[in-house]
C-alpha cells in the first residue's frame, strides 16, 4: 500500500541531521544541566549555545528565550502570567485561535472575571482590523492574543501591523507562532510583539520541546511550573538537552534553506489546487487557503462536494489508502464536534460537507498529490 503523509500542520518528520544531533547528545551529554560538575557543565553549555542560536535567528537576546515543552505550554505560561502578574483585565482574541489559547483564556475568565473580546472574522478567515482597533480603544489593561498563521485554514495575520496597533494603544501582544516559526523569516526587532510561542515539531524538529519569546521589559512574569530555578526561574524542571539541541538544529536548517524549500512547497500547493480543480470541478477551498497572498504556503483546506452520509467515512477510507490528512487540529482528534474555526466562516450548508486539511513539507512530491487527488476523485463520484 502506498503511504502519503499530508498532515504536516499536525507534526513534521524529523530531518536526518536532527536525528543525528539528538542521538549524539544522548550518547555523550547525559549530565543534568543544573549539576555543578563537568558532566552538568557540558550539558549546560549545549543548552545555552542552543538558546543563543535560536535567539540570533529571531534577532533577539538569549535571555528572552525560555525553553518549554512546546507551544501549548508557552501559550499557557504567557496568558496565565499576564492576568495573574501583569494585571491584564481585558484579553482581545478571536474565536478561531488554537484551543491552547481559547481554553486558557476561558479558564482565566472563570477564575479572575476578566473581560474577553472577540475580533470579528471575515469569510476569508482574515481578522477585521478596524474592529480590532475599536476594541483596543477600550479603557482597560489589555492583552491581544492572535495567532500568526491559523493552523486549520492557513490565514496569515499581519503581525507587524497588529504589533504596531498594540503599541499605539498601550496593549501587550501575544502571538501563537507555532505554524510560522521555521517557515517564515521572523525579525522580532522589526515586529514589536511582546510574547511568541513556538514548537519544534512543526519545523522538522523533535516533539516535546518548544520555546516562549518574552520580550525584555514587557513585565515580570512568574512561572507556570514551579519546583526549580531553571530557565531564569520561569520554567522549573530539568531541561531536555537532546531535544533542545535538536530544536536548534531543525530551526537553523529551516532558516538556512527557507527560500528554496518555501518555493518548492509553494509549487506543490499550487499543483495540488490546480489538480483538485481539474479532477473535482465543484471543489471549494475554505477561507482563503487557496490564495497565496492571504494564506500560508504550507496548507490548504478543501471542502468537497460529497454527500454528508458518504462523507462520514472519508477520513477512514483515506487512511485505508495510506493517506494521512486531517479535519483540523490534531489536538481535537476524536472530538465529534465540528471545527470551531470552520464554524466561524462557513454556512450551515457547507459545514455539512466534508472539509479536509492537507498540509505539505519538503518531503512531499507531485506524484503523491496525483495519488491523493485520484483517490478523492474516485470517492467523490
Given phi > 0 = left and psi -120 to 50 = alpha, else beta, which region is 227? left
CB 31 within 8 A of CB 39: yes
> How far from 54 is each of 65, 182, 198, 228, 377, CA to CA, in Å?
8, 11, 11, 23, 43
DSSP string, 354-375: -EEEEE--TT--HHHHHHHHHH
The answer to whether the CB of 142 falls within 8 A of the CB of 113 is no
Contact 263, 289 (CB under 8 A): no
How much is the CA Rg of the chain, to the nearest whole Å? 21
- Return the SS3 of 121: strand
User: What does the block give as the cell for 11?
Assistant: 507534526
User: Terminus-to-terminus CA distance in the chain, angstroms?
Assistant: 22
Give how far Cα 376 sits from Cα of 306, 308, 321, 352, Å.
Answer: 10, 15, 10, 17
- Concerning whether 166 is annotated as a catalytic residue, the answer is no
Strand partners, 301: 357
Percentage helix, strand, coil for the chain under 3-state DSSP, each rounded to 5: 45, 15, 40
How is residue 37 written as a grid cell? Answer: 560538575
What are the Cα distances from residue 31, in Å, to 25, 186, 232, 319? Answer: 10, 33, 19, 42
Active-site position among 166, 303, 325, 331:
331
Active site residues: 331
Amino acid at each position: 500500500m502506498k503511504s502519503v503523509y499530508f498532515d504536516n500542520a499536525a507534526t513534521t518528520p524529523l530531518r536526518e541531521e536532527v536525528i543525528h544531533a539528538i542521538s549524539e547528545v544522548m550518547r555523550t551529554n547525559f549530565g543534568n544541566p543544573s549539576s555543578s560538575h563537568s558532566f552538568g557543565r557540558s550539558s549546560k553549555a549545549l543548552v545555552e549555545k542552543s538558546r543563543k542560536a535560536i535567539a540570533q535567528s529571531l534577532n533577539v537576546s538569549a535571555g528572552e528565550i525560555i525553553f518549554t515543552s512546546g507551544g501549548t505550554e508557552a501559550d499557557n505560561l504567557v496568558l496565565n502570567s499576564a492576568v495573574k502578574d501583569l494585571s491584564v483585565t481585558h484579553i482581545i482574541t478571536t474565536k478561531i485561535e488554537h484551543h491552547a489559547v481559547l481554553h486558557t483564556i476561558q479558564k482565566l475568565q472563570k477564575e479572575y472575571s476578566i473581560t474577553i473580546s472577540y475580533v470579528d472574522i471575515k469569510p476569508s478567515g482574515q481578522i477585521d482590523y478596524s474592529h480590532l482597533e475599536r476594541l483596543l480603544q477600550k479603557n482597560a489593561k489589555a492583552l491581544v492574543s492572535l495567532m500568526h498563521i491559523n493552523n486549520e485554514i492557513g490565514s496569515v495575520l499581519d503581525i507587524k501591523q497588529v504589533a504596531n496597533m498594540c503599541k499605539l494603544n498601550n496593549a501587550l501582544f501575544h502571538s501563537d507562532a507555532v505554524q510560522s516559526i521555521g517557515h517564515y523569516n521572523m525579525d522580532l526587532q522589526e515586529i514589536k510583539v511582546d510574547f511568541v510561542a513556538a514548537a519544534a515539531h512543526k519545523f522538522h524538529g523533535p516533539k516535546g520541546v518548544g520555546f516562549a519569546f518574552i520580550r525584555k521589559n514587557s513585565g515580570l512574569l512568574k512561572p507556570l511550573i514551579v519546583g526549580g530555578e531553571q530557565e531564569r526561574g520561569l520554567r522549573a524542571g530539568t531541561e531536555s538537552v537532546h531535544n533542545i539541541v535538536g530544536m536548534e538544529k531543525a530551526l537553523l536548517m529551516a532558516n538556512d534553506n527557507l527560500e528554496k524549500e518555501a518555493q518548492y512547497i509553494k509549487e506543490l500547493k499550487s499543483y495540488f489546487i490546480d489538480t483538485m480543480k481539474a479532477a473535482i470541478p465543484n471543489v471549494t477551498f475554505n477561507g482563503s487557503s487557496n490564495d497565496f497572498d492571504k494564506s500560508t504556503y504550507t496548507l490548504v483546506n478543501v471542502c468537497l462536494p460529497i454527500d454528508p452520509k458518504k462523507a462520514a467515512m472519508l477520513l477512514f477510507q483515506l487512511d485505508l489508502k495510506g493517506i494521512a490528512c486531517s479535519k483540523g487540529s490534531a489536538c481535537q482528534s476524536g472530538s465529534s464536534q465540528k471545527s470551531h474555526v470552520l464554524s466561524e466562516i462557513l454556512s450551515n450548508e457547507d459545514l455539512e460537507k466534508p472539509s479536509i486539511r492537507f498540509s505539505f513539507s519538503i518531503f512531499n512530491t507531485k506524484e503523491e498529490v496525483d495519488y491523493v487527488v485520484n483517490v478523492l476523485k474516485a470517492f467523490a463520484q
